[in-house]
Amino acid sequence: MTNILPSVNHLVFPLLLWQTLPSMANELILNVTLGEARVARLENGVVSELYIERAKEQGVVGNVYKGKVVRVLPGMQAAFVDIGLERTAFLHASDVVQELTRFDVDIDDDAFDPQPKHKRFSHARNRKIEDLLKEGREILVQVEKEPMGTKGARLTSHISLPGRYSVFMPTVNHIGISRRLDDAKERKRLRQLIDQARPKGSGFIIRTACVGISDEEITADMEYLVKAWREIEQKAMESKPPSLIHSELDVLLRAVRDLFTPDIDRLVIDNKEGYDRVISFVSAFMPSLKNSIQLYQGTEPIFDHFGIEIEITRALGQKVWLKSGGYIIIEQTEALTAIDVNTGRFVGRHNLDDTILKTNLEAVREIVYQLRLRSLGGIIILDFIDMERHADKTKVFNSLKESLKADRARTTITKISDLGLVEMTRKRTREDLRRQLTDPCPYCEGKGYLKSATTVCYEIFREIQREMEGLKGKQIVVYVHPNVANMLYDEERKWLEALEERYKKRISVKTVSDYHLEQFDVAEAKTES
C-alpha cells in the first residue's frame, strides 16, 4: 500500500481543534505506547468500548494459515491441524469446506469480529470427518477463536476477508446483509449490487457502514477483497505447511476499518508513526474521513486527557455505584457472569415501589454500559430488585431491550422472571477486560477470599488431635503465620491450654513470616543432642 504522508495542516489542525469541539462528540481515541496499542470508542463523551492489543500477545483470529492435518478424531467429528502455533488447532467437520448451495440470510454486523459465523446446515452436521480429511492432508484454514488455556485455536476452512464495506467469503455461495440495515429500499439496492459484482459461486456480506455509500465505493471494496483472496491463493500454492499466509490487520487499522464510521466526529491518535499509518489507510479506502483525523500533541497522556484511564480502573472493580446511591455487583465465574442490583444508600422520596423501579432503570443503563466496556460474553444473569407491579417489570425489560440496541455484540434476553431474574447471552468476540489486564491473586489463588485467622486456629486444634498418637515427644510445636500466632496466644489461648491438659503435653507456637496465612505445620519439638 502506498505510504501517504500527512500534510502540515493535518499536524497543526488538532492543536486548534480539540479544545473547541463539544465534549459530547462521538470519538475514537487511539493510544500507542511501546509494545501496546489501545483504542477507546467514546459515545457522547463516555467510554463505550475498549480494545487493547500488546505486541507479545498479538491475536491470531482472522489469520489464514496453510496447515497439515495431524490427527483425525471420528469420535469428536473433528481434526487437529498443525498451523505452526504452540498447540495444534481444532477443526470441526462442519467447518470443512464442501460444495454448498446458495443460501440468503441476514447477519449481525459485529465490529472487530473478523470471523462472521456461517450458517450451520443440517446436512453439514451429518458429514463425517473421516470422509472429509485424512492425516497428512494440507489444508487452508482461518483462525476463528484464539487459543485459550490448554485449548488450541478453533479453525474454519470457510475463509472470510473483512473490508470496509463488505466481507468476502470465497468458499460460500452466499449473500448476506447486516440486520442493522433496516431500510427495505437500501437493502434491495445493495443485494442487487452484490449479486452483479461478486465472482460467480462466492459470497459477500454487506456491513452497516454501507449506508449511503455509492455503488462505485462498495464495488471498489469488493474488488480489493477479491484481489487479496487471489494473492492468498497464490501464496498458499507456493508455501509449505505449516505457514502463515495472511495476517489480519492490527488493532489500530481494525479500529479505522470497523469503528471509524460517519457517526464518529473525529479520530485522535497520540503517536506520529501510527498517525501516518492511519492517514495512509484512510486516504486509500475512505478519503472523505481524512480531515477528521487528528494527531494529539498535548503533554498530558491522551487517556488521562479524555478521562478514559479512570473508566478502565472502574471497570476492573466488582462494585459499581449508581448516581442515585444504589449499586451493582458484577461476579464473573468460568461459566457465567452474575450481576446483582442493590438500592444501597438510595432511599427514594415517595414509596418503596418507585424507589425500586428507579434503581432498576438506572441499573439497566449501567449494566449495558459495563457489558460493552468490559466485553463480557457468554451466559449472563441479571438479578434485579424484586418488583411487585407488573407494569414496572415491563418498563425495566423494555428499557433493557432498548439499551442493548446500541450493543454491537449479538444478544438474546428472556422476560423478567417472578424472582426478578433476566437470563441473557451475549456473543463473546474477545477476552473480557479483566482477563486481559489482570492475573489471579497469587495469595488467595484467585478465590477472592482467605480463611480467617480464627478458622485456621480451629483447623490447627483438629490437626493436633489427629496427629497426637503419632507424636511421641512431650513437647509439640505448631508453626504458623504471625497473624494466626497472635490469635492462638490471645483469643484462642484457653483452647490450646485445654489440649495441653488433655494430652499432658506442652504445645508451643512459633511464627514463620514466610508462611501463607492458611499454612501451618504440627510437629514434635526437636531435642538437642
pLDDT, tens digit, 9 for 90 and up, residues 312-327: 988 888 999 998 888 9
Pairing verdict, β 266-269 and 27-33: parallel
Q: What is the pLDDT of residue 527?
A: 63
Q: What is the pLDDT of residues 148-187, one digit of tens each?
A: 767 788 899 999 999 888 899 998 888 888 777 778 888 8
Nearest Cα to Cα of residue 68 among 46, 49, 85, 93: 85
Q: Where are the beta strands (DSSP E) in 34-123?
A: 36-43, 46-54, 64-73, 78-82, 89-92, 103-107
- Helix ranges restricted to H, 7-70: 8-17
CATH class of the region 8-57+252-309: alpha beta
Over residues 469-482, the mean pLDDT reads: 88
Q: What is the CATH number of domain 453-524?
A: 3.40.1260.20
Q: What is the pLDDT of residue 34?
A: 85
Please report which helix (H) or strand (E) contains residue 425, including its range.
Answer: strand 421-426
At the top level of CATH, the class of 64-249 is mainly beta
For residue 2, the model assigns a pLDDT of 35
Amino acid 509: pLDDT: 94
Q: Is the N-terminal amide bond of 242 cis, ω within 30° of 0?
A: yes
The answer to whether 135 touches 70, Cβ cutoff 8 Å, is yes
Spatial distance between the Cα atoms of 520 and 451, rounded to a whole number of angstroms = 13
The average confidence (pLDDT) of the chain is 84
